[in-house]
Amino acid sequence: MSADRKVTDDPTTWSPATQLVHGGTLRSQFGETSEAIFLTQGFVYKSAEQAEARFKNEDPGYQYSRFANPTVSMLEERIRLLEGAEDSRATGSGMAAVTAAILSRLSAGDHIVSARALFGSCRYIVEDLCPRFGIAATLVDGRDLDAWKDAVRPNTKAFFFETPANPTLELVDIAEVSKIAHAAGAIVIVDNVFATPMLQRPIEHGADVVVYSATKHIDGQGRCLGGLVLASNAFVKDYLHDFLRQTGPAMSPFNAWVMLKGLETLPVRVNAQCASAAVIADVLAAHPRITKVLYPGRDDHPQAAIARKQMTGGGQIVTFDVDGDKATVFRFLNALAIARISNNLGDSKSLVTHPATTTHQRLKPEVRQELGIGDGMVRLSVGLEAVDDLVVDLQSALDAAFR
Ligand SMILES: *Cc1c(COP(=O)(O)O)cnc(C)c1O
């Protein structure tokens, strides 16, 4: 502890864990300890004059929960502090956040470059939806800096990628790709779900906009959908604010309250899940029936140097290839006693996914092959169970699959 370090009531003097417990709290006249749920659609005014002033932006305060709501504001401020962003907005789901970040900024005639290794719905937005509205899209191998450079056109307005990507855990070098984007006058939008705000701070590496599915680690216990967009004041003012206010993908105040409580325990949960994921990745890598383990925290990850540069931990997702066909992998999944079969992730419960037949089923077989998503691939989202139980569960299920 530094002797001259001071903490004041200014939350920017607090460490991240403290910001996540206290940041953004707005106490009502009752002085409640836990944040209040303002489950209201609208607000009343003391006078017609006040209503007029509020609509002219001359009187600070709330009008309607599609625009803003006190519980949602608390969440937005808490995550904004953690991320070190100028502004933030919450949305009803992660996909609403991704869609708003992209469509609020781009118009017909513009061009977006995106990594091809994406969550299935993100890929739909870029590959199918954008072109329907006259926004050209180019998908590149996100690991290849020359591919990003070569994809730039005079009308390129944005780069978009996930790092680590779902489910292959491919990484994109945020700093290098941001340099290419900025030289071309484009902004960088990063989907930071897999890294979580605890392990990677994209804005510090050059990203302009960060999006989250708060549904995942920020809730962390599988209850509510939610999304977050973090960006500069200028981006929110010029693009995002009106898009969200007028199109209406607002987060429910109840969901915002669940997410606020989720943020309070996020560092504790993510640290524990990462520690277990690292143990499990090593156990799987040593198993004779596992042909490949992809984990950004291991030295044998193809981009381990990038992981060390921009992440402070390997994450809680481990992807691995079982040495067998679809029937073998299904026997393995069906034999698990603790880890549950699901397409979700970031939960306190360990969840396993077979991407080829679920989350990435929509992709053409050749696209799956290009991304390295084979029939043997399994994605494991490591939960908060005792790691010894998870290791025994995985080993026993592998034994059962190959019996
Ligand atoms: C889940 C997920 C999303 C979408 O979030 P929802 O809350 O389900 O809408 C977007 N990107 C990534 C990487 C995800 O894992």
pLDDT digits (tens, 9 = 90+) for 184-230: 999 999 999 999 999 999 999 999 999 999 999 999 999 999 999 99
165 and 308 together in one domain:
no
- Percent of the chain as helix, strand, coil, to the nearest 5: 45, 15, 40
Structure tokens that stand for 391 in this block:
């290791």
Please indicate, yes or no, whether residues 59 and 185 belong to a single structural domain of this protein. Answer: yes
The ligand 1 atom at the shortest distance from the C-alpha of residue 98 is 10
Q: Of 292, 338, 296, 289, which is closest to residue 313 (Cα–Cα)?
A: 296
Q: State which of 214, 232, 264 marks the end of a domain.
A: 264
> Could you read off the pLDDT of 222-254 as tens digits, one per residue?
999 999 999 999 999 999 999 999 999 999 999
Which ligand 1 atom minimizes the distance to the CA of 225? 7
On whether residue 1 sits in a domain, the answer given is no
Domain edge (last residue) among 196, 230, 264: 264
Average pLDDT over residues 62-91: 97
Pocket flag, ligand 1, residue 99 (CB < 6 Å): no
Residue 395 counted as domain residue: yes
Residue of 91, 119, 160 best suited for mutating to test ligand 1, as the one with most atoms within 8 Å of CB: 119
Tell me the one-letter amino acid at 131: P
pLDDT value for 362 = 85
- Determine, yes or no, domain membership for 38: yes
Residue 5 within a domain? no
For 183, counting Cβ atoms within 10 Å of its Cβ (0-12 exposed, 13-18 middle, 19+ buried), the class is exposed
User: Relative to the CA of 346, which ligand 1 atom is closest?
Assistant: 15
* Ligand 1: residue whose CA is nearest its atom 8: 94
CATH of the domain at 225: 3.40.640.10
Indicate which atom in ligand 1 lies nearest the CA of residue 96: 9
* One domain, residues 152 and 200: yes
Residue 4 lies in a domain: no
> Is the distance from CB of 278 to CB of 297 less than 8 angstroms?
yes
Closest C-alpha to ligand 1, atom 1: 213
For residues 255 and 369, membership in a common domain is answered with no
Residues 199 and 293 both lie in one domain: no
Q: State the distance from the centre of ligand 1 to the C-alpha of 345, rounded, in angstroms.
A: 9
Overall average pLDDT of the 321-348 stretch: 97
Q: Which of 91, 95, 259 most suits a substitution to test ligand 1, by most atoms within 8 Å of the C-beta?
A: 95
- Sheet of 156-162: strand order equals 87-91, 227-231, 209-213, 187-191, 156-162, 111-115, 136-140
Report yes or no on 6 lying in a domain: no
Do residues 255 and 284 share a domain? Answer: no
Q: How many CB atoms lie within 10 A of CB 402?
A: 14
- What phi and psi, each to the nearest 5 degrees, are found at residue 155? -100, 20
Q: Count the neighbouring beta carbons within 10 Å of the beta carbon of residue 358.
A: 15
- Please identify, among 209, 236, 264, the residue that sits at the C-terminal boundary of a domain: 264
Whether the predicted pLDDT of 2 surpasses 80: no
Q: 353 and 206 in one domain? A: no
CA of 303 relative to ligand 1 center, distance in Å: 23
Ligand 1 within 6 A of CB of 225: yes
Torsion angle in degrees (nearest 10) through CA of 179, 181, 185, 191: -120
The DSSP call for residue 64 is: B
The pLDDT confidence band at residue 275, using thresholds 50, 70 and 90, is very high
Q: Please check whether residues 224 and 312 belong to one and the same domain.
A: no
Q: Are residues 186 and 258 in the same domain?
A: yes
Note the pLDDT of residue 121: 92
Pairwise CA distance, residues 402 & 331, whole Å: 8
The helix/strand/coil state of 372 is: coil
> What pLDDT band is residue 181 in, cutting at 50, 70 and 90?
very high
Where do we find the tokens 């900025």? Answer: 182
pLDDT mean over 83-95: 97
> Is residue 3 in some structural domain?
no
pLDDT tens column, 124-151? 999 999 999 999 999 999 999 999 999 9
- Is residue 67 packed enough to be buried (19+ CB in 10 Å), middle (13-18) or exposed (0-12)? middle
Domain count, the chain: 2
Q: Which of 98, 102, 193, 347 best tests ligand 1's pocket when mutated (most atoms within 8 Å of CB)?
A: 193
Residue bearing tokens 């992709």: 363
DSSP string, 132-152: HTT-EEEEE-TT-HHHHHHH-
pLDDT in tens, 109-121: 999 999 999 988 9
- Count helices and strands in the chain by DSSP H and E runs: 16, 12
State mean pLDDT over 289-305: 97
Residue with tokens 């481990």: 318
Task: Quote the tokens at residue 348.
Answer: 């306190």
Task: In whole angstroms, give the CA distance from residue 264 to residue 395.
Answer: 34
Using alpha carbons, select from 287, 286, 308 the residue that is nearest to residue 296.
Answer: 308
Range of the domain at 279: 266-401
- Of the chain, the percentage scoring pLDDT greater than 70 comes to 99
Answer whether 91 contacts ligand 1 (Cβ < 6 A): no
pLDDT digits (tens, 9 = 90+) for 24-75: 999 999 999 999 999 999 999 999 999 999 999 999 999 999 999 999 999 9
The domain that holds 380 is classified in CATH as 3.90.1150.10
> 292 pLDDT exceeds 90?
yes
Element (H, E) at 353: strand 351-353
Please, what sign has the CA dihedral across residues 330, 282, 270, 85? negative
Residues 116 and 215 in one domain: yes
Q: Is residue 323 part of a domain?
A: yes
Residues 16 and 69 occupy one common structural domain: yes
Alpha helices in 248-319 (DSSP H): 253-285, 304-310
Q: Do 250 and 354 lie in a common domain?
A: no
Q: Whose CA is nearest to atom 2 of ligand 1?
A: 213
pLDDT score, position 4 = 83
Over pLDDT 90: what percentage of the chain?
Answer: 96
